[in-house]
Amino acid sequence: MKVAVLGASTSKFGELWSLSPRVLLKEVVTEALNSSHLKLGEIDAIFVGNMLSGILGGQEHLGAFVAEELGVTIPAFKIEGACASGGLAVHAGVTSILSTLYKKVLVVGIEKMTDHKPEDTTSALMGAGSDEERTSGATFPSLYALIARAHMEKYGTTEEQMAQVSVKNHYHASLNGKAQFTFPITVDQVLKSPLIASPLKLLDCSPVSDGAAAIVLSSENEITQKIKPVWITASALATDTLGLAQRKDLTSLSSAQKAAQKAYKQSGLKPEDIDVAEVHDCFSIAEIIAMEDLGFFPRGLAAKNIALGKTRLGNKLVVNTSGGLKASGHPVGATGVKQIVEITNQLRGVAGKKQVKDAQIGLTHNVGGTGATAVIHILRN
């Protein structure tokens, strides 16, 4: 399969109190269209990734909202899959082109989270969990803390090794002017930060964020000479149980494993072929598990290798050059689209100070909840 990414844009992520969803939307769509050398009138459909617009913003009719704001009457769809909403929107855009129903589509991911009380946002996010988890008072930090404990007991993973994930991603974010946190941190700072859900500390956790991202996708037959596209050569997803209690193993996400296997098969590539990856590090333990689910490291060895710096800029495989969810920010509906933007920029060689040398093949890994949904994309020049 081959679907072209023609344009890509992301807003700054963070506490964007002065910017409305309408402003964020127009910013990223304008930039994505400009970089694709297309006009809005050439777009056949719009796919919008979002999780919380209905719960927090009171607006569930988001496809029509976006179309109205852009001044078009073309088909527009809201796609929801918890924190994987952006990745699902990309998948929907890709499959719509592969079906030949549409030739050029706009995919937008957007979320406005910081305007609301923390307890309201936390409750809304738990809409991605199971009934049992919600009624027991669980939150996603506590659920990922259970995952972390299971991984620590099975493989000997340490809190210091988990802290190294945050340190690495903050370093990458310090090179990304659009990241929420553009400053480096140390292992000691992570370990001494406030305890959220043992063993996870504040600096093991991704923040609440606002932001938007957009990409323009096109069929292979619609490419002109104006721009050299980046190609999506795999788009795969899988699902699992909503709750952790129904899982056989808490040390991996079977949805991510299955989606990755499908993506490698679709693209004809292997884990060792990937140069740069954006993975769903909602918590530090999540990146460690992702490295193992994606086949980058054997089971139980990812934490050690990350701590040794093997996924930092300058190495063969570089992970979360944007700063990941941890430091770039996590406006949940926008994250999966932002990942595609980052990999597209890397493969085009326009990622600035965080550019991976000679990057040719990239992967994105976007997860909803504790792995009830996982979406994998593979891109290449």
> Same domain for 7 and 154?
no
> Same domain for 106 and 247?
no
Domain endpoint, select from 195, 222, 249: 222
Residue 287 in any domain: the answer is yes
Whether residue 277 is predicted with pLDDT greater than 90 in this model: the reply is yes
Domain endpoint, select from 190, 222, 254: 222
Indicate the number of domains in the chain: 2
> Same domain for 88 and 35?
yes
Residue 125 in any domain: the answer is no
> Same domain for 19 and 166?
no
Whether residue 317 is predicted with pLDDT greater than 80 in this model: the reply is yes
pLDDT for res 222: 84
Q: Taking CA 175 as the corner, what is the angle to CA 172 and CA 179, rounded to the nearest 5 degrees?
A: 80
Residue 122 in any domain: the answer is no
Residue with tokens 């979360």: 320
> Same domain for 340 and 276?
yes
> Same domain for 82 and 159?
no
Length of the chain: 381
Residue 254 in any domain: the answer is yes
**Order of strands, edge to edge, in the sheet holding 104-111?**
76-79, 45-49, 104-111, 211-219, 3-10, 230-239, 373-380, 361-368, 276-278, 318-319
Residue 178 in any domain: the answer is yes
pLDDT tens-digit readout, 136-181? 999 999 999 999 999 999 999 999 999 999 999 999 999 999 999 9
Instruction: Supply the pTM of this predicted model.
Output: 0.98
pLDDT for res 226: 76
Domain endpoint, select from 222, 250, 265: 222
Residue 127 in any domain: the answer is no
Q: How far apart are CA 181 and CA 6, in angstroms?
A: 28
> Same domain for 159 and 281?
yes
Residue 144 in any domain: the answer is yes
CA 314 to chain centre: 22
Give the domain extent around 62: 3-117+209-222
> Same domain for 84 and 147?
no
Write the DSSP assignment of 254-308 as a string of letters: HHHHHHHHHHHHHHT--GGG-SEEE---SBHHHHHHHHHHTTSS-TT-HHHHHHT
> Same domain for 92 and 144?
no
> Same domain for 305 and 165?
yes
pLDDT tens-digit readout, 89-118? 999 999 999 999 999 999 999 999 999 999
CATH number of the domain that residue 57 is part of:
3.40.47.10
Write the DSSP assignment of 325-336 as a string of letters: HHHH---HHHHH
Closest CA to 318 of 284, 352, 363, 282: 363
> Same domain for 106 and 34?
yes
- Find out whether 104 and 42 touch, Cβ atoms under 8 Å: yes
Residue 258 in any domain: the answer is yes
As annotated, the active-site residues are 83, 330
> Same domain for 200 and 74?
no
Backbone angles phi and psi of 298, in degrees to 5: -65, 160
Whether residue 43 is predicted with pLDDT greater than 90 in this model: the reply is yes
